[in-house]
Chains A and B, each alone.
Chain A
Amino acid sequence: MNHKLEIRGVTQVFSSEEGEVKALEGVNLEVRPAEFLCIIGPSGCGKTTLLRMVAGLEQPSSGEIILDGKPVRGPSPDRGMVFQEFSLFPWRTVLRNVEFGLEIKGKVEGKVKGKGGGVSGKKERREVAEKYIELVGLRGFERHYPYELSGGMKQRVAIARALATEPAILLMDEPFGSVDAQTRNVLQEELLGIWQRTRKTILFVTHSVDEAVYLADRVAVMSARPGCFVKCLEVDLPRPRKRTSVEANEFREKLLMWLSLERSKAACIF
């Protein structure tokens, strides 16, 4: 099977004044095209570090990350990222936030070709941005500044912004961690809708069992420091899923068991 993303033997060692800390050790993971994969684990297990390495914001001490057959060297718009913290540019309106990636892309392409074309044109840029704003359900808010938006709306804009450059994969680092429970449910539902419409590959980091069971095709369970995967579970529940169904509950129990297993230090299986 051809993989969208491959993580091969990735180890990450942070050195500090007190000595070296191993955050990740020999991590392997394969993500299939158009798959929704959740990484779950306790805080401090290195799941965010792993995601940041896929984004190119950190370099692994050893090992390789391969996207579409090409090794990841640094950050690039072909990997969209949604951060846990609110990350909108506060001086830009919703529309201009979503346009940001296209604007930069236009600058790069304009330099290469000498003259702007494609998404570098102002009008095309606007059209693409409006399409994604519509996708996340924020039509009518184009001219609002981030300070005028609620937490959930901010994260929707961040999703639209990450998608606007049409990345090969969408990386999400506990994106709904700082919104209230109701909004969180709504956002999860909407994210599934977006995923089904765009057929994007999504790598989603969370520490919430409920979230993983509701969203994922597969859940990769990570152990604490040094982090590695102890189990990868197929979520064989039909969609649309019901949060309170018996099957979902059974799966939740299975997942919780694997999470508690890792605390008693199960061996890393892959």
Chain B
Amino acid sequence: MRLPREEKGLWLVPLVAVILLWEFSAVFVVKDPLKLPRFSAVVFSIYALRDVLIADTLVSLLHFGIGVGLAFAVALPLAIGMGWSRRVFKAVDPIVELLRPIPPLAWIPLAMIWFHLTHYAAGFIIFIGAFFPILIDSYTGFRDVPKVLVETGKVLGCIGDRKQIRFVALPYALPSVATGTRVGMGVGWMCVVAAEMFAVSDYGLGYRLFQKFYFLHQMDYVVAYMLVLGLVALCLDRLFRHFVEERLFRWKKGIVK
């Protein structure tokens, strides 16, 4: 997406304003670094923590990768089944709708029992968070393939479900799959802190934030890690949008804006 020239730096203004407001209230209003550490102190903390921060980010990305990767791998075939066949949908939908509202955090005890204190336990919690958004958006995409496109496929030689899915339904649904994946990635990342809270490994953004910094009430470090959590997610989202969605949505430009 290209922004007009005068809109290019627009985001900077409110950002600077919020930072100034933060710094100002920390210094002159709250006056308690425990309740609100100063922005400048937080930035300095990020710098001071740079070594451990990189290790923590990498381990968190590992957990995230396990969770989202698995969620995608399981959700996509299920979504194809549910979207393409009414019977599969009718059979599976009640189970999905029963499991979907259970918060990922409620799965933590089971994750601990099943996977003990391993990366997989954290990955599992993230999996639960990412799975349902990917599934729901994707099967909607497969369900909404226009009949005339399927029939056009048939008349041009796509005989059998496999070919129709491969050549008609999948390309049609791909933008929905991408949207679901993006939402799922967001929810999955929100689960990272909770998933790592229980010391599944000696590294991880969530582990450090909760078990180390909060434990010692180092609030400037806590807020520094909060900012990093936000920044990493922002980068992941931008990368995904740049490499996946921009490409997939090219043909949709005229349909949705």
Q: Which of B133-161 contact A (CB under 8 A)?
A: 148-149, 151-159
Question: In the complex, A116→B171 CA distance in Å?
Answer: 23
* A89-B158 contact in complex given A81-B152, A104-B163, C-beta closer than 8 Å: no
Whether, in the assembled complex, A13 has its beta carbon less than 8 Å from a beta carbon of chain B, the answer is no
A180-227 residues with Cβ-Cβ distance < 8 A to B are: none
Contact, CB under 8 Å: A89 / B163 = no
A105 interfacial contact with B, CB 8 Å = yes
User: Which residues between 56 and 89 of chain A lie within 8 Å of chain B, taking CB atoms?
Assistant: 56-57, 74-77, 79-81, 83, 85, 87, 89
- SS of B interface (majority): helix
Tell whether A90 pairs with B155 under 8 Å between CB atoms, given A85-B148, A104-B167. Answer: no
Distance between Cα atoms of A108 and B156 in the complex (Å): 12
Q: Quick one: which of A55, A91, A108, A146 contacts B174, CB cutoff 8 A? A: A91
CB atoms of A91 and B152 under 8 A apart: no
In the complex, whether B2 has a CB less than 8 A from a CB of chain A is no
B254 in the interface, Cβ–Cβ < 8 Å? yes
Q: Judge whether B251 is part of the interface by a CB distance below 8 angstroms.
A: yes
Q: Is A270 an interface residue, CB under 8 A from the partner?
A: no
When A91-B172, A145-B251 are in contact, do A79 and B163 touch as well, CB less than 8 Å? no
Binding site for B on A (CB under 8 A): 55-57, 74-77, 79-81, 83, 85, 87, 89-92, 100-101, 103-105, 107-108, 145-148, 161-162, 165
Q: Beyond A83-B148, A89-B171, is A104–B158 a contact (Cβ under 8 Å)?
A: yes
Interface residues of B in 228-257 (CB under 8 A from A): 250-255
On whether A83 and B152 interact (CB within 8 A), knowing A91-B171, A101-B157, A104-B158, the answer reads yes
* Interchain CA distance A76-B157 in the complex, whole Å: 5
A contact residues around B172 at 8 Å (CB): 89-91
On whether the beta carbons of B255 and A90 are closer than 8 Å, the reply is yes
Minimal Cβ-Cβ distance residue in A for B172: A91
A77, B157: Cβ atoms closer than 8 Å? yes
The CA-CA distance from A90 to B146 in the complex, in Å, is 11
Whether A148 contacts B254 by the Cβ 8 Å rule is: yes
B80 on interface, CB distance cutoff 8 Å: no
Contact between A91 and B163 (Cβ–Cβ < 8 Å)? Answer: no
Which residues in A have their C-beta under 8 angstroms from that of B253?
145, 147
Tell me if B168 is interfacial: C-beta within 8 Å of chain A.
yes
* Chain A neighbourhood of B168, CB < 8 A: 89
- Can you list 25 A-B contacts with CB-CB less than 8 angstroms, sorted by A residue number? A56-B154, A75-B155, A75-B159, A76-B155, A76-B159, A77-B155, A80-B155, A83-B151, A83-B152, A85-B148, A87-B149, A89-B152, A90-B252, A90-B255, A91-B172, A100-B156, A103-B167, A104-B167, A105-B157, A145-B250, A145-B251, A145-B253, A147-B251, A147-B254, A165-B157
Contact B156 A101 (CB under 8 A): yes
Taken together as a complex, chains A and B put the C-alpha atoms of A57 and B163 apart, in Å, by 16
User: In the complex, A151→B35 CA distance in Å?
Assistant: 63
